Structure 1
Amino acid sequence: MSSRLTALTTFCVVAFAVMATLTAAVYASDAVFERQQRRHVDVFSHRALLRADLVTAEAESALRELMSYSDAPCTSEHTQRLRHVEEQYRYIREVATTDGVRLHCSSQRGTIDTALPPPEWTYAQSFTAWHTEVGRPGTERRMLNMRLGNHVVVIDPRFYLDIVPLDDTIELTVLETQDGAVISSWTNTDHALVRAALQRTSGSPYFEGRYYVVERSQRYPIAVVAYEPEERMRRNLSAQLRTMIPPALVLSAIGTWLVLRWRRKLRTPRNAMLQGIRRRQFVAWLQPLVSLESGRCVGAEALVRWKLEDGTIVAPDTFIPMAESLGLAEPITDQVIRSVFEGVGAVLARRRDLHVSLNLAGKDLAGTRVLETLKANLAKYAVHAEQIWFEAIERTLMDTASSAPVLEAFRAAGHRIFIDDFGTGYSSLSYLQDLPVDGIKIDRAFIRSLASGEEMNKIVPHIIEMARSLDLLMVAEGVETEAQAQYLREHGVQFAQGWLYAKAMPADEFLRYLEREAARTRET
């Protein structure tokens, strides 16, 4: 065989091997990509159905609660009842009263006289529903109205699909199953396609030009239809191979593999935190607060923890600075408040001598939004406002002109305000008397110094004397020894927390802690 023929044969074999490898790699990458797309469709259709069931169930609960009202409609008492229901339920945006022909009064607009539009569809057990347009011309929004008996609740349809996808690989729609009326959908969804998918008798995912999933509710006549957009469907394999040039074959195969690997592993901190918020992974742990005089637990400080799906607990020092920089501190605060009431709301209602302290982040001190979040929980669990204390970190209070009115609003609502980590800021002595606060928390660094030498010990007496002169309550953090507790008790500090008494713990462990303390008290 001549050298020329050998070279040609070798080239053909290598070229065939390269092309075969590249074809397999591109085909495999497309298959993996398609399966990933379909997993997104499956996952988000299921999440959307859970959300749709949740929103519909809340509307039903609100309407059934209103059915119990039998007094005269549109009175002051009735209007207050409508507003209470609106505030109590998360997804309700307005509540109205009707005689079946016209709307007569509303929680938002007071007395009205508006004709009742014909229903778009009817649920079982006399539920009817229709859409209306609200807002100024050019900025209208569609709102969903649901009626049972003499009351109507209004819901923003966007709540039905209030989930965040990882990318733009799916389209979602929520429909009414009897007539195929669209309740809510994402912007680019093709309504004709989703109605056709709904009419299929099979409930299994199927492929018909693109991948479809139909999720039907077991509780309500609603369904979620999800599909992959046409521009994201499987790419033409032969066309891709024809456009590739030989020098880029291997590089393209490696690049495809790396890109797919990178996409699967890509999880930005913001996405991870948003996912944690959606899944309510931010929970409150409680560290007991003890009266130094009696030695009994009188409350607890709520400390946020991030509980991952695998059970790993992330400490706040790791994620709180990131949450504040990403503007996500407020929803985390809301989850902590909800977690506190779900965990210990019942025991707070039974024991009025107990309280829980909540920490205020920087943005929480920009206004009174937290009070609005807290209001519904106080009413739901029958907890008194004075049982919820707030702690503001000293360094966030430097601007007393803006901080003082906000703190005053919290106190006016019945809550006590403490300055956390006191003594670690810059101007404690100069601005403390200008702030409307009830007490201070002596930072653990100063408590630790009680056993570190005579020179450092001079700081704590100075802080205590200053607080006493201003008639402020005192909480000592980081108490770890009985000697520290005895010193603080003798110098008039009222409360303490630290490992001498207990570490921070989940709510169920805190309840057992209270039970053990109560048992010891009965024995003595």
Structure 2
Amino acid sequence: MMNRRSIVVMATVAAILAAVIPLLSIAGYARQRAIEVETEHLKTYSGWTLQRAEQNFSQARHVFDTLEQGAWAACSTAHIARMRELTINSQSVDEIGYFVDGQLACTSWGIVQQDIGIGVPSATLVDGYALYLHITPFVTGGAPLLAISRGDYNVLMKHERLVDVLTDTKMTLGLATLDGQLIAMSGKADGALSQALARGLADGHDQNLMYASAENTHFRAFAITDRSAAFDRMDQELLLLIPLGAGMSVILIGLVVWISRQHLSPQGALQLAIKRKAFVTHYQPIIELATGQCAGAEALVRWRQPDGSFVPPDMFIPLAERTGLIEPLTDLVIQRVVDDLASMLRREPSMHVAINIAACDMQSGRFLPVLSRALRGAGVAPTQVWLEATESGFMDVNAARATIDQARQAGHAIAIDDFGTGYSSLSLLQTLPLDALKIDKSFVDAIGTQAATSIVVPHIISMAHGLRFRIVAEGVETAAQEAYLREAGVQFVQGWLYSKALPLEAFLAFYKARNQRRTAPPPDTEATGLTPPPASPSAG
């Protein structure tokens, strides 16, 4: 938290900036807005130019399709008549040519006697069409035309037809092949700029001109206009924006004053922290008693403050649950865990990580698609992720069962956390298809003492064995507790006897060091909990 002096200083500076910046920046905003609007305007016309080019291209395609479907005697009277008919009926096509062995045999105007080869195309389009950018018509002569060729035919059309788009302001439209060859322009423009736009997509402006471009599978189009076109709009906008800027200054000053008098609410602070992803996950190692090796970890979220300290989870988790912020927080934790441990989990298929799920999420199952996408994207097996929920998460049995069924079908193991501290009953455990039970630290602390709760532990363990649950004991701090739990058949333990919750790098080092002592083959799937066991008969 900032001290009072810092808040006063920052509020004063903010108030000054709030008064000055809107008025100083409004002209800049109007200028930028004018540029953006005109760029979008040019981009729209680039798109329309592409549409116009494709319309002409479609007419050429229709000619090819029609002629190729006919069974013509080459250059017969009927063949030439059909080519002439298609030429006359097309708004785009000026002439059609038919080639035999690469030589022009006839056109829509008659048989050709001279030797005229098809030549080398200027460009080849993705779907087998060839472009010849400058072809002089054999019969009519005149200015060079654009030729589009497919198979034994080509069609000639005027270049300007491809950029024949009616504009609402003065601009130059251009069309090029995707490899940068300029096909047509609707007017004159800077030659270097036109060539640059033909070679690649660009939106922008220089001291004199503005330009934008677009492309499709065949062509690249661009539009160029004088820069003054953009700023013609700016003067009109300034008449509206300057009073608006003054009003914004007043509002911002009032807002700064109001904020400076308020303490950021805990909910607001938490919401901002989630947005800024100001959370890290620490990992408390889970030890397999049978081997002494680290089988995985429980992911524990920590709220990191700007000064490097951490807010305890018991201060913000209940707040998150009350305010509905637990959902984005859960999503953030899932992504953190996957980002942190994906590579380790892929290398160590016997390793698992446990993620705590809030009661509301366990009831709704909302988090499951989020988790599935994260794991699938990282290549992590769902069997390596356990899901833990406290007893309150299972109170609505029907809703919880639906979530559990989906999770277990995906491959996740489900554990009931802090067992014995809430309202669980044997009938609840028998009803739900759970996989594991975690003994709360308060019961582990009572092992070997005369406390009244000391007699609860053997009953919990016996019940869990009867239901074929795997058992994890939390808060193990002494060797005597470890020995008792091992003798009782508890499979997994965690606690300060082994390690506190560790930052990522420290946990990875712990895991490596602990498991270097491995002398036996990895335990089987049932022991490690990589896949949920079959539901017991009582679990339905």
Please report the TM-score for the alignment, with normalisation by the length of structure 1: 0.54
The residue number in structure 1 matching 2:245 is 233
Please tell me whether the aligned partners of residues 407 and 413 of structure 2 are also in contact (alpha carbons under 8 angstroms).
Answer: yes
The residue number in structure 1 matching 2:156 is none
Q: 1:286 aligns with which of 283, 288, 306?
A: 283
> CA–CA distance in 1 between the matches of 2:515 and 2:204?
55
> CA–CA distance in 1 between the matches of 2:259 and 2:237?
22
The residue number in structure 1 matching 2:303 is 306
Q: Aligned runs of 1:38-187 on 2, under 5 Å?
A: 177=204, 179=211
Q: 1:463 aligns with which of 432, 455, 460?
A: 460
The residue number in structure 2 matching 1:263 is 259
Q: Aligned runs of 1:442-521 on 2, under 5 Å?
A: 442-453=439-450, 455-521=452-518
> CA–CA distance in 1 between the matches of 2:316 and 2:229?
43
The residue number in structure 2 matching 1:402 is 399
Please tell me whether the aligned partners of residues 422 and 428 of structure 1 are also in contact (alpha carbons under 8 angstroms).
Answer: no
> CA–CA distance in 2 between the matches of 1:285 and 1:441?
19
Gaps of 5+ in 1: 1-26, 46-98, 101-119, 127-174, 182-195, 201-206, 212-227, 241-255
The residue number in structure 1 matching 2:341 is 344
Of structures 1 and 2, the one scoring higher in RCO (CA 8 A, sep 6+) is 2
> CA–CA distance in 1 between the matches of 2:482 and 2:257?
56
Aligned partner letter, 2:368: L
Residues 28, 335 of structure 1: alpha-carbon distance in 2 compared, 3 angstrom cutoff: closer
The residue number in structure 2 matching 1:188 is none
> CA–CA distance in 2 between the matches of 1:303 and 1:121?
59
Residues 443, 177 of structure 1: alpha-carbon distance in 2 compared, 3 angstrom cutoff: farther
Residue deviations 1:343-374, cap 9 Å, x none? 11101000011000011112211333322112
Residues 348, 210 of structure 1: alpha-carbon distance in 2 compared, 3 angstrom cutoff: farther
Gaps of 5+ in 2: 1-11, 33-125, 128-172, 180-201, 206-210, 214-226, 520-540
Shift of 1:32: 4.8
Residues 258, 329 of structure 1: alpha-carbon distance in 2 compared, 3 angstrom cutoff: same
1:427 matches 2:439:
no
Residue deviations 1:121-177, cap 9 Å, x none? 99x999xxxxxxxxxxxxxxxxxxxxxxxxxxxxxxxxxxxxxxxxxxxxxxxx964
The residue number in structure 2 matching 1:203 is none
The residue number in structure 2 matching 1:324 is 321
> CA–CA distance in 1 between the matches of 2:335 and 2:248?
50
Give the fraction of aligned pairs with identical amino acids, expressed as a percent. 38
SS at match of 1:310: coil
> CA–CA distance in 2 between the matches of 1:39 and 1:482?
70
1:382 matches 2:379:
yes
SS at match of 1:458: helix
Please tell me whether the aligned partners of residues 291 and 494 of structure 1 are also in contact (alpha carbons under 8 angstroms).
Answer: yes
Residues 517, 438 of structure 1: alpha-carbon distance in 2 compared, 3 angstrom cutoff: same
Please tell me whether the aligned partners of residues 210 and 233 of structure 1 are also in contact (alpha carbons under 8 angstroms).
Answer: no
Residue deviations 1:36-77, cap 9 Å, x none? 8699999xx9xxxxxxxxxxxxxxxxxxxxxxxxxxxxxxxx
> CA–CA distance in 1 between the matches of 2:178 and 2:513?
49
Aligned partner letter, 2:259: R
SS at match of 2:355: strand
Please tell me whether the aligned partners of residues 292 and 496 of structure 1 are also in contact (alpha carbons under 8 angstroms).
Answer: yes
| Larger radius of gyration between Structure 1 and Structure 2 | 2
SS at match of 1:450: coil
Please report the TM-score for the alignment, with normalisation by the length of structure 2: 0.52
> CA–CA distance in 1 between the matches of 2:420 and 2:248?
67
Q: Which moved more, 1:337-346 or 1:309-318?
A: 309-318
Residues 40, 382 of structure 1: alpha-carbon distance in 2 compared, 3 angstrom cutoff: farther
Shift of 1:399: 1.6
Question: RMSD value over aligned CA atoms?
Answer: 4.3
Residues 353, 442 of structure 1: alpha-carbon distance in 2 compared, 3 angstrom cutoff: same
The residue number in structure 1 matching 2:99 is none
Residues 489, 315 of structure 1: alpha-carbon distance in 2 compared, 3 angstrom cutoff: same
Aligned partner letter, 1:417: I
Residues 199, 349 of structure 1: alpha-carbon distance in 2 compared, 3 angstrom cutoff: farther
Residues 283, 265 of structure 1: alpha-carbon distance in 2 compared, 3 angstrom cutoff: farther
SS at match of 1:493: coil
Shift of 1:261: 4.9
Residues 372, 451 of structure 1: alpha-carbon distance in 2 compared, 3 angstrom cutoff: same
